[in-house]
Structure 1
Amino acid sequence: MSVTTTSLALSRLLDDDSSWRLLRADNAPVIAALLSAHLAGEQIRMPADELFEVLDHDLDRLREAGFELARNAQGYCAEWREAGFLVRRAAEGARGETYELSQGALRGIRYLDQLVEPRQTATESRLSSIAAQLARLAVDTDPDTTRRLAQLHAERDRIEQQIERVAAGEVDPLEPARALERARDILAQAEEIPADFARVRAEFEALNRSLRTGILESDASHRSVLDEIFRGVDLIGESDEGRSFAGFSALVLDAEVGADFDDHVSQVLEREFADTLSASQRRFLRRYVTTLKDRSAEIHEVITSFARGLRRYVQSHDFERDRVLKSAIREALAAGIPASAEVKPYRQTQLSLALSSVPMVSVGQVRLHDPAELDATAPVVEHEAAVANLEALRRLARETEIDFDELRAHVNDVLDRAGECTVAKVLAVHPATQGVASVVGLIALAAVQGVVADAVERVRWHGVDGVARSATVPVHRFTGRVL
């Protein structure tokens, strides 16, 4: 493209692209830090009230650090939503609203993260991955069967040589530095997929709007969309975006693929070089398949909701009413253009317009002001603050919270002895000091950092009342040290 064409295209992006708008905002560092901390991690959506609360707390701390921030959290969220950084939606299954990052805001925050912590791409791991994919593409697209057979035979010979070397005991594990480089390259590629679900959802929303617009714009000679919907065709699921996502989702939901991925993650995290990875990176790998399944299920719900809404919109004939309204608006606008030369927009027309509805308020809602309610008749009692008892506070904390630090120490102690254990084995060595709360805590740790088997086992503990109890639960197995 010419310089002029490129400049014009970038000028449009400067006004329309929310990621660029975020990067050139006056408080871009503050905006990116706040949104990244609360909406760009494992939690991608928050209720409005909770988001306002945590943002107000962070804004107070930023003001103490010298940042000039005039608005409160609610005001900034309204501004960021208007700028395209946030998306506001109705909460599912409850009253209220939720906020999440837009696709552009996610792109901008990811770009800033790479500026803060640059990722090295000119690595042996990245080059080997590109070369392997390119070689595979060359084989899969080669129409010449002779060349394809030669390449496949060469690949088979190479694999057989490796098998012979391993069988002879010539094992040469990858060096820790190169293994760490490869693991970080895998993490960099894996992090791009969950963050891309915002773009997928935005594409389906745009497709839904496009189909609804096509229904309103269609006439007797262009009724293909209406006819297909009346026949029961799922236009959203059958679209290019829908088929592409269906293929991706089928692979994510494949039980064999998920099990293999979890096994490989467990094996990699047991290696010595994996200790160099941060706790958040190890947790990201352990929960990767679960995260993909959760995000895929969410997109499936969006597709289903759009498809049902589109079919209901057509079959209920609501689109005909909207067409009449649209036609009336167009006629009014067409009549207003020549009238604007004779009549000013602010001229009084003496036209009385009856509203379609009247707000109804009951007189029972009126409450008279009683000054006596504000009188403080009871004397004010002053209580002197006593010195806090550390042991009493610890007992209170153990009564209301699960002591995960104690549970992690118990699990790691049993693992150091046996190398592998279940929840029942941990309780047999270290009895539950908090009753059923300790059992629940161990199961919660194993669900996140262990594996769940198809078998069941019997767990036993003594409650806080001293009574012995037991329960049958699925086998939760710890295979590596818990963090």
Structure 2
Amino acid sequence: MDLDDIALLWERHPAWRLLRARNAPLVLSFLGEYFVENNRGATPAGRLVTALDDYLYSVHRAEPDRYTANPSTYLDDWAGPESGWLRAYYPVGSNEVHYEATPALQKAHAWVENLRSRSFIGTESRLQTVVELLRQIVRGSETDPDSRIAELERRRDALDAELAQARLGNFSVLDDAALRDRYQQVASTARDLLNDFREVEENFRTLDRSAREKIASWEGGKGDLLAELLRSRTDITSSDQGRSFQAFHDYLLSEGSQDELAHLIATVQSIPQIVPDRRLRTVHHDWSEAAERTQQTVRTLSEQLRRFLDDQVWIENRRVMELVRAVEAAALDVREQAPRDIGLTVDAPGVPIVLPMERPLYDTQPESIVDSMLAPDDDSESELDNLFAQRYVDTARLARNIRAIVPPRTAAALDDIIRLYPVQDGVAEILGYLTLDDGDIDIDIDMGDREMIIDYTTPDGESKRVLLRKVTVTRS
């Protein structure tokens, strides 16, 4: 970076502007704890004003003349365009303004937090992380089958040797310093991952904002705009950060991965040599909430498509009604004041004359007798087996299955749910899952290239298989 770039950031970047602000300690201490450390999303204005009022009350007990402005004034100032530390907006279906932290606040808080002196700085775990990532890059980019087989055999031999030593009771255990080193690296990476979500969400929101601008200023046809918006939606999902985020989100949606992650965190937190970090205890739930907020930002682009189509239909219907009203008004004017100079111009050399007697006379047609009643067939028997073979799919049972597996504010794949609760009513039960509409349950069908295979047994005992798009079940 050269001098001009740094000067531009010093002047315009909200994070640097926060570090130069006079009330920076108040902003970083209150908003940093409320939004960053507690991983809170959008918060109604009333709730945030109450929290800031309580915080200022505790400050005034020690220093009465410090930060004497009204809490609402502080929030309006922090969310203004000249600050940019909070984002103020109205969510869909709410008439109260909501506030949420911006990536600039996140970066400033992280920078100030790193200024603290640390009594223990681990380096070994970070070195091993770098070496392991380099190994994954080399192994993942290897295209020679012989090289891959040789590497797998080497790793297998090393595991066999380690297993043999473990059976003899010879194995090494991490000492206290190594445990603290690795735990510090895990906690730092987990917090950094939460910080990155805000920036990813902001990038997605920028793409969504550009789509809104295209809708507001578009003057062409609907087809061209829809193609442009769909291209923007594809750019989000096919970009590098979109694919990386989708892989992370799929990992969190896996029930097995969630159970393993929760077990590992609980086990590490119970090790006596480690001083547990309270934020790490529920960090996997914080990841899920942050990922869901980011995913919701991506969904808003699809909502823009539907809103645009509805608006266009309304505009076209309104134009049709205006034309109809104009025709009716013109007809009324002609009825009351008939025009005198009216004529008909025929662009033809002459007008053909047809005498009335040249037309054929009316010719009556004989009546046709139609007997629509069919004679009953005494030998035929009604086929009633198919009528009694109808099966009823209990959607309440399907909702109970989902609630028994998927905790609130989490999600799971449909094939994992069916694996735990086998299908009883055939493909009709699978369709019941796809059309399930309950209060806290949402069904999300991935329209990309992702697919899943579901094996089920029909009520007659026949095993069948169905290929579906990737289906995600989410509980709010």
C-alpha displacement of 1:139: 1.8
One of 275, 296, 300 as aligned partner of 1:301? 296
1:68 aligns with 2:91: no
| Cross-structure match for 1:36 | 32
1:14 aligns with 2:3: no
The TM-score normalised by the length of structure 1 is 0.58
| Cross-structure match for 2:56 | 59
Larger RCO: 1 or 2 (CA < 8 Å, sep 6+): 2
Q: Are 1:226 and 1:314, in contact at CA under 8 Å, matched by a contact in 2? A: no
- CA RMSD for the aligned pairs? 3.2
**1:195-235: CA deviations, max 9, x gaps?**
22221221121101212334455665997543355x89954
**1:238-272: CA deviations, max 9, x gaps?**
45254443222111111111111112222223322
| Cross-structure match for 1:285 | 280
Matches within 5 A, 1:466-481: none
**1:375-434: CA deviations, max 9, x gaps?**
xxxxxxxxxxxxxxxxxxxxxxxxxxxxxxxxxxxxxxxxxxxxxxxxxxxxxxxxxxxx
Partner Cα separation in structure 1 for residue 314 and residue 210 of structure 2? 14
Counterpart of 1:97, as a letter, is V
Q: Runs of 5+ in structure 2 lacking a partner?
A: 317-407, 409-419, 421-476
Partner Cα separation in structure 2 for residue 124 and residue 177 of structure 1? 10
C-alpha displacement of 1:78: 0.9
Partner Cα separation in structure 1 for residue 50 and residue 184 of structure 2? 35
Matches within 5 A, 1:293-372: 293-314=288-309, 316-317=311-312
SS in 2 for 1:153: helix
Q: Percent identity?
A: 22
| Cross-structure match for 2:156 | 156
For structure 1, which segment, 36-45 or 114-123, has the greater mean C-alpha deviation from structure 2 after superposition?
A: 114-123
Partner Cα separation in structure 1 for residue 121 and residue 310 of structure 2? 53
C-alpha displacement of 1:299: 2.4
| Cross-structure match for 1:99 | 99
Partner Cα separation in structure 2 for residue 16 and residue 98 of structure 1? 25
C-alpha displacement of 1:71: 1.4
C-alpha displacement of 1:291: 1.8
Partner Cα separation in structure 2 for residue 89 and residue 218 of structure 1? 24
Q: Are 2:32 and 2:105, in contact at CA under 8 Å, matched by a contact in 1? A: no
One of 6, 20, 40 as aligned partner of 1:24? 20
When residues 119 and 77 of structure 1 are mapped into structure 2, their CA distance, relative to the original with a 3 A threshold, is farther
C-alpha displacement of 1:37: 2.5
Q: Are 1:84 and 1:104, in contact at CA under 8 Å, matched by a contact in 2? A: yes
| Cross-structure match for 2:44 | 47
Partner Cα separation in structure 1 for residue 129 and residue 201 of structure 2? 29
Matches within 5 A, 1:116-127: 116-118=116-118, 123-127=123-127
Counterpart of 1:313, as a letter, is F
For the pair shown, which has the larger CA radius of gyration, 1 or 2? 2
**1:128-187: CA deviations, max 9, x gaps?**
111111112112213344433333322222111111111111132111221111111111
SS in 1 for 2:37: coil
Q: Are 1:215 and 1:319, in contact at CA under 8 Å, matched by a contact in 2? A: no
SS in 2 for 1:226: helix
Counterpart of 1:78, as a letter, is D
Q: Are 2:211 and 2:232, in contact at CA under 8 Å, matched by a contact in 1? A: no
Q: Are 2:122 and 2:181, in contact at CA under 8 Å, matched by a contact in 1? A: no
Partner Cα separation in structure 1 for residue 142 and residue 59 of structure 2? 59
Counterpart of 2:136, as a letter, is R
| Cross-structure match for 2:265 | 265
| Cross-structure match for 1:466 | none
Matches within 5 A, 1:219-230: 224-227=224-227
1:137 aligns with 2:133: no
When residues 168 and 93 of structure 1 are mapped into structure 2, their CA distance, relative to the original with a 3 A threshold, is farther
SS in 2 for 1:25: coil
C-alpha displacement of 1:318: 8.7
Q: Are 2:122 and 2:185, in contact at CA under 8 Å, matched by a contact in 1? A: no
1:80 aligns with 2:75: no
Matches within 5 A, 1:439-454: none
Partner Cα separation in structure 2 for residue 18 and residue 119 of structure 1? 31
Partner Cα separation in structure 1 for residue 61 and residue 167 of structure 2? 65
| Cross-structure match for 1:204 | 204
When residues 263 and 84 of structure 1 are mapped into structure 2, their CA distance, relative to the original with a 3 A threshold, is same
**1:37-67: CA deviations, max 9, x gaps?**
3222225143212222232233244345446
Counterpart of 1:71, as a letter, is A
SS in 1 for 2:295: helix
Q: Runs of 5+ in structure 1 lacking a partner?
A: 322-446, 448-453, 455-483
The TM-score normalised by the length of structure 2 is 0.59
Partner Cα separation in structure 2 for residue 109 and residue 320 of structure 1? 47
Q: How many residues align?
A: 313
SS in 2 for 1:305: helix
